[in-house]
Structure 1
Amino acid sequence: MTRDKQHNPAGSIPQEGMAEFVRLLTANQSQIYAYIMSLVGNCADADDVLQETTAMMWEKFGEFKPGTDFISWGGAIAYYKVREFRRNHREKFHFDDEVLDILSRDARNELRDANTYLSKLHDCMKKLKASDYQLVRLRYYSGASIHEISRRFNKTARTVYYQIAKIHGLLMRCIERSVSSEDRV
């Protein structure tokens, strides 16, 4: 085996392909993990299956078509890795493959819906006033507490709490309008 193939199991994937795989995996790994977790039911098993899934995704990355749904592609690989895991650990699972298929379908639908709502949330965030956007970023992206934000802006915690609640309402209505207008199309 050549040195290149030892460090690049996908063989023909160029260096920029490696970077693209890492970028896509980093952006979507938590969703693939959630899907696996919904099928195996505990963190240790989900971690093991995710590791096997990620290795297989890398091996098959040359088959991935850019621009298609990476999560669906990875989810399909994860599904087969979960089935393999179940075959190797029959004593842990008390339901058959038919139940697994139902759970898998439901989990994929939930994941697709979550992705839709997340996309709509990003669109709605762009419509916020700059001050509201900054408040949301501080609270949810930076993890600042209500008290930290209130000190930073010299406002009471109650005022900050009400502002965030108001922004939640704005975002929820925006998302609902966006999703319902999409459903009508």
Structure 2
Amino acid sequence: MRTVAKPHQAMDKSEEYQEVVEQLVGMQLALHRYLLTILGDSDAASTVLQEANIVLLKKWADYTPGTNFVAWARSVAYMQALAYVRDRRRERLVFSEEVVRQLEQRAELNDDTSEDRLALRHCLAQLSKGSLELVQLRYRDGSTIDEMAGKMGKSSSSIKVALHRIRRGLLTCVQRQLADVRN
């Protein structure tokens, strides 16, 4: 006997709740980063994340399965961040609501970039000393292929091939890291 998966519309409430919980658990790190960008304080981001998690789980029935869960969760987290700022307005080192709005807009623009950068940093840390040196010469120092070849005592073509392999390896590593973060 073959089981047929239910379409989203036919899910019962417990299945919908389970889906919300799984998605929420899977995006804790991304939500924390988002809140950290907005609030600029890791402790505040952790506090607001916990408050947002509570609200998200209480209001799980407001989420429509199949729609953009990340956008829904971020909007709740954003509202919790605003509430946090409002509640602590008298404290000297808390951003104003306007600053939080501006930082949220910047976080929206840089969101994918920040995950990409974290993944790239991780992958760069995995490189051998020689490979990392080539990457730094080329991209940090701006050395040309010929300059690198002269400095390393190798041919230009061997430097090109090495850089090509390193870039291909970094791309694969970054894609794997991003897939792990998003799953």
Shift of 1:21: 1.5
In the alignment, is the contact (CA less than 8 A) between 1:86 and 1:93 conserved in 2? Answer: no
Q: Does 1:56 align with 2:62?
A: no
Q: Number of paired residues?
A: 129
In the alignment, is the contact (CA less than 8 A) between 1:31 and 1:71 conserved in 2? Answer: no
Task: Give the structure 1 partner of residue 100 of structure 2.
Answer: 100
Task: Give the structure 2 partner of residue 23 of structure 1.
Answer: 22
Matches within 5 A, 1:1-185: 14-90=13-89, 91-113=91-113, 166-170=164-168
Shift of 1:48: 0.8
Q: 1:72 to 1:168 in 2, by over 3 A?
A: farther
In the alignment, is the contact (CA less than 8 A) between 1:24 and 1:70 conserved in 2? Answer: yes
**Per the alignment, in what secondary structure is the counterpart of residue 47 of structure 1?**
helix
Shift of 1:95: 3.7
Once residues 159 and 83 of structure 1 are traced to their aligned partners in structure 2, the CA distance between those partners, rounded to angstroms, is: 47
TM-score scaled by structure 1?
0.56
**Per the alignment, in what secondary structure is the counterpart of residue 44 of structure 2?**
helix
Shift of 1:96: 2.3
Once residues 58 and 167 of structure 1 are traced to their aligned partners in structure 2, the CA distance between those partners, rounded to angstroms, is: 46
Residue segments in structure 1 that go unaligned for 5+ positions in a row:
1-12, 122-138, 147-156, 175-185
Q: 1:22 to 1:96 in 2, by over 3 A?
A: same
Residue by residue, what CA displacement relative to the aligned partner does 1:84-114 show, whole Å, maximum 9, x if unpaired?
1111112044542222111111102212555
Q: Which has the larger radius of gyration?
A: 2
Residue by residue, what CA displacement relative to the aligned partner does 1:126-145 show, whole Å, maximum 9, x if unpaired?
xxxxxxxxxxxxx96xx9x6
Residue segments in structure 2 that go unaligned for 5+ positions in a row:
1-11, 135-160, 173-183
Structure of higher RCO (CA pairs closer than 8 Å, 6+ residues apart): 2
**Per the alignment, in what secondary structure is the counterpart of residue 68 of structure 1?**
coil
Task: Give percent identity, aligned residues only.
Answer: 22
In the alignment, is the contact (CA less than 8 A) between 1:57 and 1:77 conserved in 2? Answer: yes
Once residues 67 and 81 of structure 2 are traced to their aligned partners in structure 1, the CA distance between those partners, rounded to angstroms, is: 23
Amino acid at match of 1:26: V
Name the Cα RMSD after superposition: 3.5
In the alignment, is the contact (CA less than 8 A) between 1:32 and 1:75 conserved in 2? Answer: yes
Shift of 1:41: 1.7
- After TM superposition, where is structure 1 displaced by more than 3 Å over at least 4 residues in a row? 92-95, 112-115, 157-168, 171-174
**Per the alignment, in what secondary structure is the counterpart of residue 65 of structure 1?**
coil
Amino acid at match of 1:109: L
Q: 1:60 to 1:170 in 2, by over 3 A?
A: same
